[in-house]
Structure 1
């Protein structure tokens, strides 16, 4: 799973667990580990260094468990086994929770969000490796395998109703991992934390009661920020057309519109604020497909959800509740 590096934290992270003591006894502790093919990190504020270290270690472990469960590449993951066999018995309750959220997102977005787009991803990846794009007939065959309503699941089994279907949870797993890591950290009584699993979740504040600050990458300049924002008590996720592209003009990339069998062509990036990282992660993908008008209308119906979009001409739009610049 290739991580989507769209949001930059104002707090760095390094391997292991380290701390920085501020006047007044507040200590900012950092820890990092490997998951989702990259480095994930947790920062917490707490006076007890031992407790902070345990909280960080448990949080990292919780995120890594989600990676092992939902990776499309690891042969021991349940998602890999489902894609290989077409059915999975005795699914993990955490997998079922994510699939239930996926189905809800598919319903509310009119199918713009669909975890069964993996056949399109495979097709475009193979064509890109040959230096081109899929032929129309190939694209139509793969597109015919994409339909979230053909995925059945309950506590006993997950299965596809059609052969050769496959799913990817790359639009949800990192967000869910952030939520699971947060729960593990909070179980130690930690109230102030920033977690980065590829999606961000912020709770409380940094030392001296300063807010956590996040920077949103400019979709056309990896060294520039399109915006910075204060993050407190929310989860933040960004999807964009630039992290994994099949053509240099960003027209064809890793996000697919199921109705087209190809990438949506309006937006370059979408940043979503939501109560949970699972929801923020899924909505950022759905909103990329839906475009500004439909995404804005849906966000207005969802509690505590806001968004910022940048279109392919570089124009920026925000919902009314999106935070002011930091």
Structure 2
């Protein structure tokens, strides 16, 4: 895809200007295969990630049903991002998508298989609750320039925010402002859990080295006093102190040490990157070049923000 044809494929809008910075789309240099316990169902699933042609983008393959990670297919669900198309669901996709977006895997086929006989729903394994397993797998197999079926490379298009935009739900919000590079500022507040409390994290950049060392290893977290309630709702059946950091309101962290003093807040940034990757299309970058400020957000609010960027709401 030439620069001119790429620009024609990505029409600028009132909020986003698509630009080519001379980067070529990439894919993985070989197959990645990982299996593990899933967070919410507690079942075992296997993921195989295959190289894909330039311009195709990233997509899930579940029982030969292809689901692109687009906000068009997001089904609101508690504590994870779920994609649903034609009755088939792939759940807890955010950590994998975060790693793929940040590490520059623009095109790939993600084959997900439940190993316990699920028919219409499957979940991506949780591993240690971070994106570390996926980052290491991508680093091990390496990247290569993606080419189309004719053997041609394609420009990677980058979305630049050109007007301020914000979304909110009650006292939670995501706001974004035009900025010459990606900068993320994120805050959380758990006044009922003093060991977490109010935290803020600011990213210096979103290149793969910063992500690998500062964001990817941050694990998901939960409040111990809420565990029984969540399990009664059919959630976190596969959760354990091996797949999350657990904090008690009265006793503090139950499975220290933390990888970072502000690990819970960093994990929110990890989730944000995965959820905003839903804006990607045809091998482009999903995360917009902007200064993004988030506070007490979650997957549903992140999806609202992508819809706003997409002109859906």
Q: TM-score range by the shorter chain?
A: under 0.3
- Which is bigger in relative contact order (C-alpha 8 A, separation at least 6)? 2
Identify, as 1 or 2, the structure richer in helix.
1
Larger Rg: 1
TM-score by length of 1: 0.26
Identify, as 1 or 2, the structure richer in strand.
2
